[in-house]
């Protein structure tokens, strides 16, 4: 009799603990990495694994890892709003590191990887890079003139 009661208690405990543990591992996506905001149309639609990968990539890019920037700009984003949010992530990184460091990284890109102006355009236009709660509607050529010139001269 005691054995049966013990089994029931263990099963009940397992049931109670399985919900928070499952939620922890499947639902733990984040919308901020070292101050870089990931827009909700990007992170909400990511799996736990995709979100962890994006977090690692953002951290590596902030450490000036060229390969991570290449991989980040090619991240699956679901299109539409997710593309805008990926562009927003990239523009925040450009602001953080500065145009000169981004240009140094892009110079190391293979030729076929040097095109990501579209992501930068939408990140500046629709992102909230000054964190005032409103879309910025900024233009690439004006906001990052050195990077704009480099990318347009080196295609």
Enumerate the domain spans of the chain: 31-153
Say if residues 87 and 118 touch (Cβ distance below 8 Å). yes
Q: Average pLDDT of 32-37?
A: 89
Alpha-carbon gap, residue 90 to 127, rounded angstroms? 10
Taking 50 as the threshold, does the pLDDT of residue 23 lie above it? no
- Give the per-residue pLDDT at 71: 95
Predicted confidence (pLDDT) per residue in 10-21, tens digit: 665 555 554 444
The answer on pLDDT for 147 being more than 50 is yes
Between CA 66 and CA 72, with CA 67 as vertex, the angle to 5 degrees is 100
More confident position, 97 or 5: 97
pTM given for the model? 0.79
């Amino acid at each position: 009799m005691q054995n049966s009661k013990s089994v029931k208690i263990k099963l009940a405990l397992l049931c109670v603990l399985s919900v928070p543990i499952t939620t922890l591992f499947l639902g733990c996506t984040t919308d901020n990495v070292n101050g870089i905001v990931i827009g909700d149309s990007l992170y909400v639609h990511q799996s736990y694994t995709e979100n962890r990968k994006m977090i690692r990539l953002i951290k590596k890019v902030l450490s000036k890892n060229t390969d991570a920037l290449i991989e980040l700009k090619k991240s699956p984003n679901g299109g539409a709003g997710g593309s805008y949010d990926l562009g927003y992530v990239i523009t925040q990184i450009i602001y953080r590191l500065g145009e000169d460091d981004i240009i140094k990284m892009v110079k190391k890109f293979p030729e076929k990887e040097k095109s990501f102006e579209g992501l930068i355009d939408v990140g500046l236009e629709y992102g909230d890079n000054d964190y005032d709660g409103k879309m910025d509607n900024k233009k690439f050529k004006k906001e990052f003139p050195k990077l704009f010139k480099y990318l347009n001269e080196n295609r």
